[in-house]
Amino acid sequence: MEWISPEIYLEIRSNYEGVIKQLQTAIKDAREMAEKCPIPKDVNLRAAHASDIVEGEILWYYDGDDGEFWQVVSEVHHPNDPYKAYTAEDGCRYGLDGAYIAIPEEVKPK
């Protein structure tokens, strides 16, 4: 089919908008639950380097306004900048200052 009627388009849009809204709510709820997660005690952390500032990476901070917190890198800006290295999923900019990254299992010191 090369085309659909405007009425079919509106029906499809309406159906998917409801699904999208449900998924956005599920993601928001999951984020709120995950924000309560403290820095794991069983994970080795090291100070983050500029090379760690990549989209999708989780960075941990010990000293936020409300204590420990984490952010997911959404957009990389200036990886070496201590204060504005990246934009996180929350839309704010963060930097290397005070950032830590989990050391993967395969490279943990024994």
Q: Are 64 and 50 in contact (CB under 8 A)?
A: no
> Tens digits of per-residue pLDDT, 35-50?
888 888 888 999 999 9
Give domain limits for the chain: 1-36, 45-107
CATH number assigned to the domain with residue range 45-107, chosen from the 4 options 2.130.10, 3.40.50, 2.30.30, 2.40.170: 2.30.30
Neighbours of 90 (CB within 10 A): 13
Q: How many residues does the chain have?
A: 110
Burial (CB < 10 A; 0-12, 13-18, 19+), residue 13, is: exposed
Q: Are 84 and 95 in contact (CB under 8 A)?
A: yes
pTM above 0.85, yes or no: no
> Tens digits of per-residue pLDDT, 19-73?
999 999 999 999 999 988 888 888 899 999 999 999 999 999 998 888 899 999 9
DSSP string of the chain, one letter each residue: -----HHHHHHHHHHHHHHHHHHHHHHHHHHHHHTTPPPPTTS-EEE--GGG--TT-EEEEEEETTEEEEEEEEEES-TT-SS-SEEETTS-EE-STTEEEEPPGGG---
